[in-house]
Structure 1
Amino acid sequence: MPGERKIRLLVADDHALLRDGLKKILALHHDLEVVAEAPDGQEAYNMTKTIRPDIVLMDINMPNMNGIDATRRIKSEFPEIGVIALTIHDDEEYIYELVKCGVSAYMLKDIETDCLVDAIRAVFRGETVYHPRISEKMCGEFQRLALRNVHDEPLSRRETDVLTLIARGKSNKEIGDELYISEKTVKNHITNIFRKIQVTDRTQAALYAVKNRIVKL
């Protein structure tokens, strides 16, 4: 639609062919605009400082500065900018480090184009998204959380359900709709979950589960 706010993207990848392909694919969507591209993490960081995109599509293995270090610097200085890891790697060490750095989404490069576009839009709305393969690995373990005594107070079955849906990148409204509870009740459950596992946000909740082997990736 004329005058509609476009989602401004920076594509960081050391393969020029992949950057060019992403630009052409994303250009087909009226609400997306690739405003810059970077061949390495250092350039991604430099361009982010100058251009301030809404979202950075970040590869991991790049010269000069890798995607993990670039993400760490970007999120430290510009927490409002979303970073989507777009990589071939689904190794635990990469997932752990990128979640710790504050990525909003973790996507594998074999993802369907429509799924990537949906993930970009979701991150722009402030949501967290995992590639289906990553999400599947994580959610199976989240469902066993109720059987674990995380501290002195285990999660209830309902809290485990809520945490599972958080891991799938669902918003509070979507969680409420799926579990047939109000958004206020969802928020109360999330507050209790965060208190019990001693975290302050959704990303930290996922990180805690990975770090403590509650979620095995």
Structure 2
Amino acid sequence: MIRVGIVDDHAIVRAGLRQYLSEHTDLRVVGEASNGQEALELARQTELDVLLLDISMPGHSGVDALAAIKARFETLPVLILSGFPETQYASALLRQGAAGYLSKDCDPDEIADAIRVVARGRRYISAAVAELLAESAVSPQADKPAHETLSERELQVFLRLAKGETVGQVADSLCLSVKTVSTYRTRVLEKLKLHSNSELTYYALKQGLIQ
């Protein structure tokens, strides 16, 4: 029996996933969470074999949660199930320790298959992600979106600033000093060749990184 945790801020999505997974005799949902902070608590308090994690959630986002969970529970496979297409996040999150990445547009059977694969300690690479990785391997770095060059922490800071948080709020959320967040902000602006937080927001919206 593979014990699965579901993290998504929409109750109807969690209910649908729970119902679907219950139809598989080898899969059992043992816990749910609605945001990144609850995801961390779920991983801490529940025996899990796989964690299904959404990216876009209020407060402690899925990107933050992935970093926190992998730092504390290195061997727990985290399978990203996101409303964003693979081209926007898959490569970065796989580099940051995700065991696999699926779009919510995928066939439901692919979710069950992916859970079984990552529960065995392997990575699940969908056809869409495989094509994306293949293209990135043969394409010049210059062809990649600028945000794919960001480090894990830079990506966290970037997304929070793009959503309108101040440097102080980001510092509190990520348990960093204001000076450290300001340094990350400067790096992000340099890498993306931007000059202000409003430009960060426009870039993120244009790239479909925030809604």
**Superposed displacement of residue 91, structure 1:** 5.9
Deviations 1:184-210 (A, max 9, x none): xxxxxxxxxxxxxxxxxxxxxxxxxxx
Q: Which residue of 1 aligns with 2:19?
A: 24
Q: Which residue of 2 aligns with 1:137?
A: 132
Distance 1:18 1:118 in 2: 19
Deviations 1:154-205 (A, max 9, x none): xxxxxxxxxxxxxxxxxxxxxxxxxxxxxxxxxxxxxxxxxxxxxxxxxxxx
Q: Which residue of 2 aligns with 1:168?
A: none
The amino acid that maps onto 2:15 is D
Deviations 1:115-150 (A, max 9, x none): 1111110001111112322222222444x48xxxxx
RMSD: 2.1
Distance 1:139 1:49 in 2: 36
Residues 123 and 129 in structure 1, CA contact (< 8 A), matched pair in contact too = yes
Distance 2:130 2:25 in 1: 28
Residues 86 and 107 in structure 1, CA contact (< 8 A), matched pair in contact too = yes
The amino acid that maps onto 1:14 is D
TM alignment of 1:80-99, pairs within 5 A: 80-90=75-85, 92=87, 94-99=89-94
Residues 68 and 97 in structure 1, CA contact (< 8 A), matched pair in contact too = no
SS state of the match for residue 116, structure 2? helix
TM alignment of 1:8-87, pairs within 5 A: 8-87=3-82
User: Structure 1-normalised TM-score?
Assistant: 0.60
What are the ranges of 5 or more consecutive residues in structure 2 without an aligned counterpart? 140-211
What are the ranges of 5 or more consecutive residues in structure 1 without an aligned counterpart? 1-5, 146-217
Percent of matched pairs sharing the same residue = 36
TM alignment of 1:164-175, pairs within 5 A: none
